[in-house]
Structure 1
Amino acid sequence: MLLCLTANHRNTSFDLLEKLSFGAPDAAKGLVEGSELVSGAVVLATCNRFEAYLDVPDADGTAATDRAVEAMSLASGTDPAALRDAVTILHGDAVAQHLFSVSSGLESVVVGEDEISGQVRRALQRAREVGTTSSALERLFQKATQTSRGVKSRTALGGAGRSLVRLGLELASSRVTDWAEARVLIVGTGQYAATTVTALRDRGVENLTVFSPSGRAAAFATKYGLVASTSLPDAIGASDIVITCTAYLAIEPKAIPNSSRRLIIDLGLPRNVDPAVATLPGIELLDLETISLHAPIEDLTAAADARALVGEAAAGFTADHSVEPAIVALRSHIFDILDAEIVRARSRGAGDETEAALRHLAGVFLHGPSARARELAKEGRANDFVDGLDALYNVRAAGAVELRAADAVELRASDAVELRASGAVGDLDAPRASA
């Protein structure tokens, strides 16, 4: 079963989200390793949301939820009770609906924002690197990526260029007389910094300097045509606007060299700027919490279209998931027959060409029923396929789902190699026991 623990800017303080963004992703490995409660975990923690997607063997999931809260709170230095109160727990079908909405930007501070889909992909990649993903989570996140692309290409949200960076600059415009004359310092060299450069140039900014606490300013400046600085106080002193978007740097009041009028936009999480900076004469500070309070009302038509696409994609994902055990059972049955027939053919002197032809034929036979099963599932008739499978072949889906998906893939890995060698892979939906 899939579970999701979610908290966001609408119902959780930025202080708690800040702590979770710093430590929670590191808890995934310990949550999965050596645990019978959690088979897989992908953690997404951004400036305005926390998401923990879990693959759990228990149909209830209560114990897995408790274990996840404990692990995430320990890793982030948060109170377990406070974290439990903050998160919403989603189960089963609701998980796909939620992730697809998140990855499409429908749950963001700025509806339709550009950055979130990349953050979702990177969360999955991180889970792959530390070994905490699972086949169920892979399918879920890959479908989420497909859905977000569809929303961007088929609705008005796609070309809006929406982002927290652009919203922050929009709010700053009332404080800036002429962007073309503004001296802007960017602190940070990551993806947000690159997005910031583009957004600033769209507004006509020409005088751009970059500082990096990690020493990457020179390379970033060369790539984007900026001026690099090696001294933060000097760079701040020479700027009218400071935009921070790095990981750990905290600009304290003592780093501000003078009290001239200056606007500071803090896009970092954890915070890059000490709130006490806002008390200095002439300093105005815009942070994520302030920016989120001024998020525009979503374009109702575009958002409605996007939500319709997300709902359709979630329904399709749920339908495929409901009928997959039956498809796996059919494949296992056909391939067992195929293996026996290949052994008999080999015993009579048949060669590689005969085996390849038999495997190709099996793939052709399986493709039609597999496609039809998914069609029936989308119509709410998955049981028709399951009952037909039982009536025709005396094959029951329950036998297929006793294997964990990862074990099934490993068990049949040799089949995928043989199918590719035979050229039949194009006719077969997936490896023979892929879940």
Structure 2
Amino acid sequence: MAVWTLGLNHRTAPIDLRERFAFASEKLEQSLQGLRQSFATHKEVAILSTCNRTEIYCAGDAVHWPETLAWLAQTGQTQVDVLKSHTYRMEGDASARHAFRVASGLDSMVLGESQILGQLKDAVRLAANTGALGTTLNQLFQRSFAVAKEVRSSTDIGAHSISMAAASVRLASRIFERIQDTHVLFVGAGDMIELCVAHFAAKSPRSITIANRSAERAEALAALHGGRCMALADLPTRLHEFDVVISCTASTLPLIGLGAVNRALRARKNRPIFMVDLAVPRDIEPEVKSLSDVYLYTVDDLTEVINSGQSHRKEAVVDAEAIIDEGVQKFMSWLDHRTHVPVIQELRVQADAWRQTELARARKQIEKGQDIESVLESLSVGVMKKMLNGPLRELHHAEGAHRQHTLETVRHMFLNT
């Protein structure tokens, strides 16, 4: 059984390319089915799609790079050669090691962050529910979760970690001397925005406002931090009210355009606006970055701030890699043993066929009134002959060194010597 991984992330591809391959959660099931259908034979597949990465995990009889690349390129409406230059491809132990490193937070923009583990578990759960996951990938991911748990509990990989939410607050503090004097708008109400609201709320801004498609979720989050809500439809007309705008939604199209920001700047008399776009695809049109008095940052722009705290965790990384190496070895050993499964199954089928044949013969003999002892003797002799037929034939026909090897094998299997 072969295992392979195709992916692109914040290190290999710019955000304008990554957003082409961001899979909307409501369409992921359809995408999984489409990926499986792109292969000529049955394959196990799973898709992990976050703001920093899109990865395809596959398992099958052999590695199929052309089909995997072609499907992903077509999905993102990108030429295969262009996509190929921005992706990483791994198979076997390298694929397993990558999955374990991703689950453990070692491959994240924020070293040691734990959010990716939840995202990976969601991706695996969806693949399992749609029937795209089989024994091999299930083992790979379950082992990756176990390794991640051990890394988290046995090392300090998460210590001194600077999240995107914390990085956003640090950057805002560079623009505004006092966060306490700012009005902050959060667009979206997902996990990332929840983290951002908590970090900004700790700085006690003048006001917190949340705009989200689901009013219920926005109201719950606003109530938790003493904020208020507004409708997404009001964004263009009320944008000028806010000094800080943090956006992270699952929208496939920008929610905040160049024109809206331009009008907001005029209404603010060119007082600066600090904006962070944590969404992929982006919520804020990229052209906004060119405007004076607008400080727009994307997930890629936060790297410098995030990396500032990573030197403290070098020793933890070494310990984590050792745990991952052991996990990879165990998985590859399990995978190697899986190659014997078809032969084992054939042996079981053949042995059962012999058993059924001799059992049927014995029943006929009993029906004819033969003595039970002679029937049992005949049954046992018949099974014995069938069981020994293959080994004896090999011993009779083997020659030279092969004969000696066959002799040793038969002794080991039947005589325990």
Relative to the length of structure 1, the TM-score reads: 0.71
Trace 1:65-214 onto structure 2 (pairs within 5 A): 65-205=65-205, 207-213=207-213
**Alpha-carbon displacement from aligned partner over 1:106-155 (angstroms, at most 9, x marks no partner):** 11112112211111111112212332222111111111111112211111
Change (3 A) 1:116 1:235: farther
Question: Root-mean-square deviation (CA), in Å?
Answer: 3.3
Change (3 A) 1:271 1:391: same
1:50 Cα offset (Å): 2.1
Counterpart position of 2:319: 305
Change (3 A) 1:327 1:282: same
Q: 2: distance between equivalents of 1:171 and 1:392? A: 69
Unaligned runs of 5+ in 2: 364-407
Counterpart position of 1:391: 412
The SS at the match of 1:86 is: coil
Counterpart position of 2:332: 318
Q: 2: distance between equivalents of 1:178 and 1:336? A: 79
Counterpart position of 2:257: 252
Q: Which moved more, 1:23-32 or 1:271-280?
A: 23-32
1:331 Cα offset (Å): 9.4
Relative to the length of structure 2, the TM-score reads: 0.74
Q: Which amino acid aligns with 1:20?
A: F
Q: 2: distance between equivalents of 1:171 and 1:390? A: 73
Q: Which moved more, 1:209-218 or 1:138-147?
A: 209-218
1:279 Cα offset (Å): 3.0
Q: 2: distance between equivalents of 1:389 and 1:103? A: 45
Change (3 A) 1:276 1:145: same
Counterpart position of 1:274: 285
Q: 2: distance between equivalents of 1:111 and 1:4? A: 21
**Equivalent position to 1:292, from 303, 308, 314:** 303
Counterpart position of 2:219: 218
Counterpart position of 2:35: 31
Counterpart position of 1:14: 15
Change (3 A) 1:219 1:327: same
- Structure of higher CA gyration radius: 2
The SS at the match of 1:133 is: coil
CA contact (8 A) 1:229 1:235 kept: no
The SS at the match of 2:110 is: coil
1:159 Cα offset (Å): 4.3
Change (3 A) 1:34 1:264: closer
CA contact (8 A) 2:172 2:179 kept: no
Unaligned runs of 5+ in 1: 348-386, 395-435
1:393 Cα offset (Å): 5.9
Q: Which amino acid aligns with 2:240?
A: G
Q: 1: distance between equivalents of 2:259 and 2:410? A: 74
Change (3 A) 1:211 1:322: same
**Alpha-carbon displacement from aligned partner over 1:292-332 (angstroms, at most 9, x marks no partner):** 25441442112212222111211222222223455897799
Between the two proteins, what is the percent identity of the paired residues? 25
CA contact (8 A) 1:114 1:161 kept: no
Moved segments of 4+, more than 6 Å: 327-341, 387-390
Q: Which amino acid aligns with 1:33?
A: Q
Change (3 A) 1:337 1:110: same
1:390 Cα offset (Å): 9.3
